Structure 1
Amino acid sequence: MRDTVTLTGMVLISAPSGDFDRRLVLLTRERGRITAFSHGSRKPGNSLMAASRPFSFGSFTLYEGKSAYNLQSVQIMNYFDELSGDVERACYGSYFLEMADYFAQENMDETELLKLVYQSLRALMNRAIPNKLVRRIFELKAMVINGEYTELPPVEVSDSCRYGWEYVVCSPVESLYKFILKEEVLREFERAVEHSRRTYIRHEFRSLEILDMMVS
């Protein structure tokens, strides 16, 4: 009998492997970013098929192989199906997953990053909050969690923008998406976060290139 472990996490990447399997990258609360194989999940009717898609969040029961985990069963709590019906929101969500994959580390407690991704995807489905604001809050808080940020905006901004920045830096993830900004303040906030992103994140995200083409 193989020893198993149950981890809370989300599928960040799902890619075909062989004829019937999928190679998954999971962001887990307990062990950070891990690779797992979902055997047979490309076969029609396989019980792991739906749970092997990006955005799937839940409890993953796995057993360890020589170089990766193997998925045994899953209890999904949220598929975020609403995102798939909106191309723009799906692009934002894909960017969040790609950035989480960039930041996450193996064998680390990634509770805060996982909560940030989860709450940010939920915020995308709240039409009262502009997608552009959700993106910038996500980016700023991801940098805060990673320990690379400034306590105050790195460029000159209004008091309203400065308050928004400080709120994101200091607030728990669960409370992030409880404010909106006037259009002119949002433009300031975008400029300040973009400055920090380019300073602290030396990486080009494919999903961001697609997103920027879509919303420009």
Structure 2
Amino acid sequence: MYDNVTVNGIVLDTSLLKEYDKRLVILTAELGKITVFANGARRKNSQFTAVSQKFVMGSFTVHPGRNAYTLVSADIKENFIELSYDIEKMSYASYACEVLQAFSEEGIGAKDELNLLYVTFKAIINARQDLRLIKSVFILKLLDIEGLGLQMERCVKSDTCENLHHISLKDGGMICDAVVHKVNGARSISDDAIYAIRFVLSRDIASVYSFDISINVLDEIEKLSNDYLTMHSERTFKSLDILKGLL
């Protein structure tokens, strides 16, 4: 018999099972992405009703099974209920959860990813920046956490730090003027966009959303981040379709 384990995490997704049960996908600091069955969560007065909602952050005690876990108890720390009051904010939060499902794995701790999701939820709720900026920053920072961060300080071909006016997503970073003619797919990038991306990659997770940019730079960074995500993920994220319908 396996002993119960307690993990800290956020519910990324939920689905219905049978008449009264729910299946949860939880991103945890200790075990990465895990599947948890919340038996009886849909019954009236169930102790699992509140904790088995999407976006809930808490401490979950689970019992390990062969391929999944069974929820034993849970303590809610934050429910982020504000996300459910606004369809646009809810869509952006769902998008972040969906992307994280694609990049997280069971058995590999996800402390940084969990912290990023937490501050992303906070940024979406506060909405001090354009929500498209929050999405773009989330993508760039997550890929950096996963070891796929863009090299923004020097040319990935010549190693020089000078005359950096182009970027190659395929090569993972900046391209200097001297070799840009040799690089297929290199695109020009503005100085403001370079500065903004450098800011994102150099900041700790807690302060990654502490800036704003012009609409033109936002358009540039949004396209770049979307293209870079597509390059590193084979999945099509359904939440993007919802977002396109809202914008």
SS of the residue aligned with 1:76?
A: strand
1:198 maps to which residue?
A: 230
- Residue type at the aligned position of 1:10: I
2:84 equivalent in structure 1: 84
Unaligned runs of 5+ in 1: none
Counterpart-to-counterpart distance in 1, 2:64 and 2:190: 52
Q: In the alignment, what sits opposite 2:64? A: 64
Q: Which moved more, 1:189-198 or 1:72-81?
A: 189-198
Q: CA offsets per residue over residues 160-193 of structure 1, 9 Å max, x none?
A: 2111101111221111010000112211211221
Query: Runs (4+) of structure 1 moved beyond 4 Å?
Result: none
CA distance in 2, matches of 1:159, 1:183: 14
User: What is the CA–CA distance in structure 1 between the aligned matches of 2:116 and 2:241, rounded to whole Å?
Assistant: 22
Query: Do the aligned residues in 1 keep the contact of 2:102 with 2:233 (CA within 8 Å)?
Result: no
Listed one character per residue, the Cα deviations across residues 26-80 of structure 1 (whole Å, up to 9, x for unaligned) are 1000000111110110001111101101100010011112321111111111111
Equivalent AA in structure 2 for residue 121 of structure 1: F
> What SS does the aligned partner of 1:114 have?
helix
Query: Aligned equivalents of 2:35 and 2:227: distance in 1?
Result: 32
Checking the alignment, whether the CA contact within 8 Å between 2:24 and 2:35 is kept in structure 1 is: yes
Distance of 1:17 and 1:131 partners within structure 2: 33
1:37–1:71: 8 Å Cα contact kept in structure 2?
yes
Other-structure match for 1:139:
139
Contact 1:151/1:169 (8 A) holds in 2 = no
2:151 match: secondary structure: coil
Q: Deviations over 1:67-124 (max 9, x none)?
A: 2111111111111100100000000011111111111011001111111111101100
Tell me what 1:116 maps to: 116
Task: Tell me the distance in 2 between the aligned counterparts of 1:141 and 1:35.
Answer: 25
1:181 matched to which residue of 2?
213
CA contact (8 A) 1:31 1:108 kept: yes
Q: Is the 8 A contact 1:14 1:22 kept in 2?
A: yes
Provide the residue aligned with 1:157 in structure 2.
189
Q: Greater CA radius of gyration, 1 or 2?
A: 2
Report the CA distance between 1:16 and its aligned residue.
0.9
Cα distance in 2, alignment partners of residues 119 and 158 from structure 1: 27
2:197 aligned counterpart, secondary structure? helix
Contact 1:149 1:196 in 2 (8 A): no
Alignment of 1:168 onto 2:200: yes
Higher relative contact order (CA 8 A, sep 6+): 1
Please give the alpha-carbon distance, in whole angstroms, between the structure 2 residues aligned to 1:156 and 1:198: 19
Q: Give the conservation status (yes or no) of the 8 Å contact 1:168–1:176.
A: yes
- Write the letter of the residue equivalent to 1:192: L
Displacement of 1:2 in angstroms is 6.8
Give the equivalent residue in structure 2 for 1:128. 128
- Percent of matched pairs sharing the same residue: 33
Which structure dedicates a bigger proportion of its chain to helix?
Answer: 1
TM-score, reference length from structure 1 = 0.94
SS in 2 for 1:164: helix
Structure 2: segments with no counterpart, 5+ residues? 153-166, 169-186
